[in-house]
Copies of this chain bind each other. A is one copy, B any other.
Amino acid sequence: MQAPNAAKNRSVGQVAPQTAVFDAALALKSGAVLPGFTLVYETYGALNAARSNAVLVCHALSGNHHVAGFHDAARRKETLGWWDNLVGPGKPLDTRRFFVVGVNNLGGCHGSSGPMSINPETNRPYGADFPLVTVEDWVAAQARLADYLGIETWAAVIGGSLGGMQALQWTLEYPQRARHGIVIASTPRLSAQNIAFNEVARQAILSDPDFHGGHYYEYDPADRHAAVKPRNGLRLARMVGHITYLSDDQLAEKFGRRMRHGKHRFNYEVEFEIESYLRHQGDKFAEVFDANSYLLATKALDYFDPAFDYAGDLRAALARAKAGFFVASFTTDWRFTPEKSREIVYALLHNGLNVSYAEIDCDAGHDSFLLDAPHYHAALTAYLQGITL
């Protein structure tokens, strides 16, 4: 066990995002072409002379490039990276050993080209005209960033959930450029239930009167604090999404039927604490995230299906992979169940690949991948330490 102070000292410290601009056009899977694009990214640790120690961290639905450290020392907690418990000196993804890169994906809302960017054809924000992007497109854009950074081969590409899909896709699209794929709490494809929840989220946003066909930025008043956005749709989308990230057990333990006022009040205000929590999560997210980016990310999730071009045969789809793999799932994850991770593991094993698989007993549901359940980080640490540089 690390004392809290020791953990604090293991931070990568204050970090700042960087920007890479790519002038060459990028042909997307949809057939659309981006004439050029920008990626915002962060790096932690140092690239070694052999350029063999770089690790790419891919983010999930609501993540971004800010993986570790903090942006503002005065607001350290509020500006902490989303996977800071994993990345830093002495942490599982040890920045004393690895050069770690976080990147905001295309279509995002944290600085990379996306719906909030200016469309060169109209000189106005793309809005809904930003093309739909896929996991394959993200990986292609990330490969451009690797070129830009002088990284021919990643020691590993790692991600959880939608990030895990990108890690897997890297090993398929660029089998020579990713020596290890680390796929956590992910799935080889969304189930009908997964798509259904995404569809509810999309419909909540698309039907919000403030969506304005995806061009809501144009309705902004001069006072940008009153920005027009489909706040309510995004709030509902996040609420329903959030329920699926957590386990029934964990909600029972954290909230159960605990009441705000100790008794029934017979109105539509908060009665049960779970209602308050959910509203707060929704409100918070609606302020900081962009609805068009959210829509795009849910579609990228739906579309991901490497076996699609192989008549559903995942084993055949993964035959291209050459990497070593670490796959992890969580027992209470009902969004992407351990069964889905096992599908990936079996398909990889049938292709004669080296696969480490950990099924972690953790009560936190899908979001377990963001936490530091002891066995989870221990298994990941061991795997990462075994990677030769």
Contact = CB atoms under 8 A, between A and B. Distances in A.
A248 B131 CA distance: 31
A269 B18 CA distance: 36
A133 to B, nearest CB: 9
A385 interface: no
Contact of A279 (B31, B203, B255, B299): B203
Interface in A30-83: 30-32
A206 interface: yes
A245 to B, nearest CB: 11
A207 B232 CA distance: 7
Contact of A196 (B204, B264, B278): B278
A192 B365 CA distance: 14
Interface in A281-321: 282, 295, 299, 302-303, 305
A117 B100 CA distance: 64
A200 B278 contact: yes
A251 interface: yes
Interface string A214-257: 00000000000000000010011001100100101001101111
Contacts of A199: 239, 272, 274-275, 278-279
A379 interface: no
A121 B53 CA distance: 76
B236 A206 contact: no
Interface residues of A, number: 53
A195 B272 contact: yes
A197 interface: yes
B193 A248 contact: yes
Given A190-B257, A271-B302, A203 B266 contact: no
A254 B191 CA distance: 11
Contacts of A299: 266, 268
B197 A243 contact: yes
A202 interface: yes
Query: Taking the full assembly, how many copies of this chain does it contain?
Result: 2
A189 interface: yes
Contact of A191 (B240, B248, B275): B248
A132 interface: yes
A279 B31 CA distance: 27
A268 B206 contact: yes
Contacts of A235: 203, 207
Given A203-B239, A209-B209, A252 B197 contact: no
A131 B30 CA distance: 52
Contact of A239 (B29, B200, B275): B200
A236 B204 contact: yes
A267 interface: yes
A345 B298 CA distance: 42
Contacts of A195: 257, 272, 274-275
Given A191-B251, A209-B209, A251-B192, A202 B268 contact: yes
Interface string A258-271: 00000010111001
Interface string A104-137: 0000000000000000000000000001100000
B203 A251 contact: no
Contact of A267 (B132, B239, B246): B132
A275 to B, nearest CB: 5
Given A195-B272, A268-B299, 16 more contacts: A29-B264, A189-B257, A191-B252, A192-B248, A192-B257, A195-B257, A195-B275, A199-B278, A199-B279, A200-B239, A200-B243, A200-B278, A203-B282, A204-B236, A206-B268, A271-B302
